[in-house]
Structure 1
Amino acid sequence: MRNVMILLLGLALCFLAACGANESTQGNNGSGEVEGQDEAEPAQNDLDYPQKPISMIVPFSAGGGTDATARALAAASEPYLGESIGIVNTTGGGGAVGMSEGINSTPDGHTITMVTVELTTLPHLGLAQFTYEDFKPVAQINFDPNVIAVPADSPYETIEDLVKDAKDNPGAIRVSNSGTGSIWHIAAASVEQATGAEFSHVPFEGSAPAITAALGNNVEAVSASPPEILSYVESGDLRPLAVLAEERSDALPDTPTFAELGIDATIVGCPRGIMVPKDTPDEIVEFLEEAFMKGAQEAEFVEYMETNGLGLVVGNAEEFGEVLAESHNFFAELIPQMDLN
C-alpha cells in the first residue's frame, strides 16, 4: 500500500496526509464534530465480552508519547467497550519487556498492548525473540517523526553546529534516547550515518527520562518525537534543532527538517497501535477494532492529539498489519547497515 511504503522510505509526512484523507479513519468535518458518530454506546455482541476491566500494557515509562497516546485513547474508547481500561507501564529492554508480556498474556481480550515501531526493530537487533506475527493487530492510532533537541542554554544553535562538534570530537556529544535499539536510537544513528558524526548514545527506559536527562544537562542532546518535547519547547527549556522528516512538523513549525538542510539521513518514525496475543479469537479482535476506531474519531481525542502535537494516523487491523509487515522488512535491511553500539 502507498501509505505503508511512504512510512518506510522517508515520505512519512506524505503518509500522514494519505491516512488523514481516509474517510474511514478520520471523520472530522472541521467543525469540531465527528461525522457519522452518535453518542457513544458499547457495541452489541454475543461474545459475553468484556467480562471485566481491560488492561492496556504500555511498554515505556509514563510521560512519553506512547503513554500519552495510550491514556487519551483509553479514555475515548471506554464508552464503546463498556468497561474501563487500566494503563500498565511495563518498562525494560527498549520496549521488549512490555511487548513480551503482552504477547504472553491470556488471549481473551482483557489484556491489550499499545505497541510501537520497536516491535519491528528489536528482533533485527537480537534484542527480542518475538516478531509482529506473535500479535494480532487491532488498530493503528498514531505516527510521529523524530526530532533532535538540546537544552535551551546549549551552545549548539543549529544541527550543523552539533554535527560538526560530533565529527571533530568523536563520542563527546551524548545523545539520550528511549532505549537501546529504540526507534529514537536508530534515528540518531541515521544522522550519524548521513553526516559522519559520532555520538555517544545514552539509553533510558522511555522518552520521558531521556528528556529529563537533557533538561538536567546530563547529555548534550536528546532524540525523541515532537510531541514528547513540545511542552518543554513552549516553556523555553529545550531547543529543537531539526526534524527527521520531509516536511516540517505541525507541532514544531519553526524547526527545519534535515531534508531542507540538505542532510540526507534515512527517515524513520514511530507508528503506534493496539495489538493482542495472536490466539485471541477473531470475534474479540473485531469488537476491539470497532471500539478503538470509534474512540480514535471522538472529537475530544482528535483535539487532544492535535493540541499535543501527536500525529493522528488511524488504520484498521488489516492496514496496521500491513504497516508492521513492511516495517519489519525495511528494518531487516536497514539495521545491519548501521552502527548501533
Structure 2
Amino acid sequence: MKRRSFLAASSALIVSPIVLAKNSDWPGREIRLLHPFTAGDQTDVSARIIAAAMSERLGVSIVVQNKPGAGGVSALRELGSSKPDGHTIGYISNGNVSLDAIFQRYDLLNLIDPIARLADSAQTLYARSSKGYHSLSDMLEDIKRNPKKVSLGVGGLGAPSHVMWEMLATEFEPNLDVNLIPYKSATEATQAMLGGYIDAGVSFLTGVVPYIQKPGAIQVLAISSKERNRLVPQLPTISESIGKDFVFMNWNGLCAPKGTPPEVSRKLFDAAMYAVKSERYQKFCADYGVIINPSPNSAVFRSEIEIALKQERALAKAKNINQGGI
C-alpha cells in the first residue's frame, strides 16, 4: 500500500513539470481576440490598438475577429466553449454584465476568467432643444410633473444607456415615470431625436460630441462621469446638475475562457497593461474622451464584475426590467 501511494505521488510530481513547461512556452501560436460587435466602431478600433500592442509584448500575432450578434452573446458563448489555453481571448464590456444580470442569457463568470479592465467612457443625457430645458434638473422636474409624457430613447432594453437611466431615475426620484423607448442602438435613438420622434435620450459621449460643440436640434445636458471630460469641458456632470453624487461609467476589458491557467492569465494581464501605456492607445483615448482606468490585477476586475452583477440584478428586480417592464 505504501509503495502504491509513493508511486502515485511520484507520478504527480513527474506530470506537474510537463504541464508547467507547456504553460511556460505560451504563447506558442497566434492568439484570437473575439470582439462582440461589428468592425469599424469605436470599441473595435480600441480592441485593434490593444491587440497590436499586446502582440509586441508577447511576440505573436493577435488577430481581432468580430463576432457580432445577440448583443455580444454570440462572442461570449464562443469564447466560453474555446480551449482555455490562452490562445483565444475576448473583449468584454459592462453591456455583457447587464445582459447576464437582467436577462440571464448566460452565466458570465462560469464562462470566463476576467483578465483586465482597460478603460472607462461616459454616458450623456440630451434633449430636443425645442423643449427649452436649461439643465438636466429642468428635464427631470418636467418628467416628474408630467408622468409618461416625456419620451426618452435608449440603446436597447437592458443596454448600458437604459441601465444608467434607471439608476439615475431611482436616485433622483424613486417613482420618476418616463415614456421609455428602447431602440436597437444609442445611435438609432439619436437619429430618432433628429427626426422629432422622441423628446430626450441617453448616448455614449462620442455619439453627441458634434451637438455639444455646435448646438442645434439637440441640447446635451450632462455627462455621467465623476468629473467633467477634457474633450467637452463645458458639459456639466450629472452630480453638478442634480446636487447629488451620481457616477455611471461604461467600461471595457479583456477576458479568457474559464479555467485558463493562472500563469497564462498573468502574462495576458501584463501584456494588457503594456498596451494601455502605449502611445497609440493613449492618443486614441484622448481623442475619444475615454478614461484609461486599468484594474490593478485580475482578482480586482473579477470582484468589480461580481459587484456590478449583484447591483444590476437588484435593479432589474425592482424595475421589473427582465419581465419586459419599464
1:26 corresponds to: none
Cα pair 1:109 1:276 within 8 Å, conserved: yes
Change (3 A) 1:216 1:75: farther
- Residue 291 of structure 1 is matched in structure 2 by 271
Please give the alpha-carbon distance, in whole angstroms, between the structure 1 residues aligned to 2:67 and 2:195: 24
Structure 1 counterpart SS, 2:234: coil
Contact (CA 8 Å) 1:47, 1:284: kept in 2 or not?
Answer: no
Higher CA-based Rg: 2
Q: Which protein is richer in helix relative to its size?
A: 2
Q: CA RMSD, aligned part only?
A: 3.0
Cα pair distance change 1:108/1:258, threshold 3 Å: same
Question: Helix, strand or coil: the match of 1:259?
Answer: helix
How many residue pairs align between the two structures?
A: 295
Which region of structure 1 is more displaced relative to structure 2, 150-159 or 172-181?
150-159
Letter in structure 2 aligned against 1:49: P
Distance 1:98 1:152 in 2: 39
Rounded Cα–Cα distance in structure 2 between residues aligned with 1:192 and 1:136: 33
Deviation at 1:149, TM superposition (A): 2.0
2:302 pairs with 1:321? yes
Query: 1:64 Cα deviation (Å)?
Result: 5.3
Give the 3-state SS of the residue equivalent to 2:208 in structure 1: helix
Distance, in Å, in 2 between the alignment partners of 1:91 and 1:173 is 31
Please list every run of 5 or more consecutive structure 1 residues that lacks an aligned counterpart in the other structure.
1-44
Distance 1:144 1:232 in 2: 18
* CA spacing shift, 1:151–1:301, aligned 2, 3 Å: farther
Match of 2:151 in 1: 174
Which piece of structure 1 moves more, 126-135 or 263-272? 263-272
Tell me the amino acid that sits aligned with residue 200 of structure 1: N
- Contact in 2 for aligned 1:91/1:205 (Cα 8 Å): no
Provide the C-alpha distance between the structure 1 equivalents of 2:88 and 2:185, rounded to a whole number of angstroms.
Answer: 21
CA contact (8 A) 2:77 2:111 kept: no
Indicate which of 213, 233, 255 corresponds to 1:234.
213
Matched, 1:279 2:259: yes
SS in 2 for 1:249: coil
Q: Which residue of 2 aligns with 1:308?
A: 288
SS at match of 2:79: helix
Structure 2 residue runs of 5 or longer lacking an equivalent are 1-22
Q: In the alignment, which residue of structure 1 is the partner of 2:35?
A: 57
Q: Which amino acid aligns with 1:74?
A: A
Counterpart position of 1:21: none
SS of equivalent residue, structure 2 residue 116: strand
TM-score with structure 2 setting the length = 0.77
Return the alpha-carbon distance in structure 2 between the equivalents of residues 72 and 229 of structure 1.
23
| Residues 1:336 and 2:317 aligned together | yes
Q: Give 1:122 deviation, angstroms.
A: 2.8
Alpha-carbon distance change, 185 to 305 in structure 1, aligned in 2, over 3 angstroms = same
| Alpha-carbon displacement from aligned partner over 1:263-293 (angstroms, at most 9, x marks no partner) | 5475332221101110223343233222221
> Quick one: distance in 1 between partners of 2:147 and 2:38?
30
The within-5 A match list for 1:25-36 is: none
| Compared CA separation, residues 189 and 48, structure 1 to 2 (3 A) | closer
CA distance in structure 1 between the partners assigned to 2:74 and 2:117 by the alignment: 21
Structure with the larger RCO, 1 or 2 (CA within 8 Å, 6+ apart): 1
Q: What residue number does 1:140 align with?
A: 117
Q: Shift in Å at residue 232 of structure 1? A: 4.8
Partner of residue 79, structure 1? 56
> In the TM superposition, what are the counterparts of 1:1-341 in structure 2 within 5 Å?
46-47=24-25, 49-58=27-36, 60-61=37-38, 65-81=42-58, 82-93=60-71, 95-150=72-127, 155-193=132-170, 194-195=172-173, 196-234=175-213, 236=215, 238-264=218-244, 267-315=247-295, 316-338=297-319, 340=321, 341=326
The amino acid across from 2:304 in the alignment is V
Cα deviation per residue 1:305-331 (whole Å; 9 max; x = unaligned)? 012100110123222122212222333
SS of 1:86's partner is: strand
Q: Distance in 2 between matches of 1:303 and 1:289?
A: 21
Question: d(CA) in 1 for partners of 2:28 and 2:98?
Answer: 32
Residue 180 of structure 1 aligns to which amino acid in structure 2? L
